[in-house]
Structure 1
Amino acid sequence: MMLHIQRLGLDLPLRATGDADFGVPPHVLRRPDLVQAIERLGYHKVFGNRWERQLDERRVAAVDLLVPAYRSRARDTVTVGDVVTTEVPGLAEALRRPAIKVDAELRLTDGTRLGATVVLPDAIGTLAMKALVRGVRTEWRDAEDLWRCLEIAAAEGVEPSDFDHSATLRDLRLVLWRELGPGGAAVGTLAERLQDDAAARLRTRLRALLAEVVGEGDSRHNVSGGDGDSPA
């Protein structure tokens, strides 16, 4: 998500993160190649699906290996090959969609610069992962990430007809209105940290983004009692 914001030049706050989530199809994790490649880079397994590498006295680089959820309820613990990992809602949709390749220059902490081609999920795939995870986790950062992903989708030219191609995407449309529409759970979470004027502007912005990207909602999309305010 952060790479999308940077490559598109969006004026959105960046969120620091201490680890990297690496989503792969189960058949990739069943083979030893991926884990062996990670360990050759100096990472060691600390538990379940997490590998870490000590950078210096204070910092640790970490990578979590994750797999898609292919059922309505994602499992926190599932064994794939020799790895006990976690299923991620929306990852299956992201892996099915065409990827976006970014030629990136990476600056390491020691000043070294490396070139690499980074493969990212497209805007809808990113939106699916951040929206559907709200069904199993409701942290403040997830609500903020969902707003960022909607901004990314708008910048990429995603439009309502793009959500008509599968049942998963039609469900995603409903989830987005439920979370970010009037009275939505994510809206309430975001608004509670803002002054009244800023919260009102954010609600107005979210309504406009939903209409542009997802399509106009109706009463079935909205939930009552989320942030307690009338539509902006």
Structure 2
Amino acid sequence: MNTRQESRVAIVTGGSRGIGRETALRLAGDGYAVVVNFAGNQAEADTAVKEIAGAGGRAVAVRADVADEVAVAAMFDRAEAEFGGVDVLVHAAGVMLLSPLVDQDLDVLDRMHRTNIRGTFVVDQQAARRLRPGGAIVNLSSSVTRIGRPGYTAYAASKGAVEAITLTLARELRGRDVTVNAVAPGPTATALFLDGKSEELIDRIAKEPPLERLGTPDDIAEVVAFLAGPGRWVNGQVVYANGGAA
């Protein structure tokens, strides 16, 4: 059962696709006003906003590169101007480019780390400065930090940094009444995961969890919504949402 959060405002980075989009829709269904952040796909972000509005919710789409501190500050300004403040940040934006370490292009490594590490730092910094008491920061990590899947070295390293930022920031915000957690999905049926993989590989990975399926964006959005709202006694944690794969 959803708990309505009529006066709360959420920013969801990477909110136009995949887990971010499903999370934006879920939070809007719980009564949040939502800022749907996107990096480049205006059409998909606008579609998400229209879907939220069509269901009676409030949302705006805001373009911002999450690693650009000026653009991120402007996004928070827009949220405050539009809805009066910010209570929840869900940081779902990320880049996944796979290669064994021995073959890793360092320019690709730098691009991934810019979005996944610097982006998390920049977005969380603004959230730490601006979230109202009772707020929540939820970062998206990945279960590959524990699974150790070959080919994911650079990506897993970047998500390990996300977890380190999460756990430390939770302690730095002592006395603010703001929780900071990370959700670490396992393999989830999104374009980010499915692109470039054979059906055989996807089927094999899907059989790894005891539940014998891939996760869905809705599976992850359920966990995020709990941490964003009723899960106030969960703080400074990484929640592995992977069907028991690791």
Return the TM-score normalized by structure 2.
0.32
Higher strand share: 1
Higher helix share: 2
Structure with larger RCO (C-alpha < 8 A, sep 6+):
2
Larger CA Rg, structure 1 vs 2 = 1
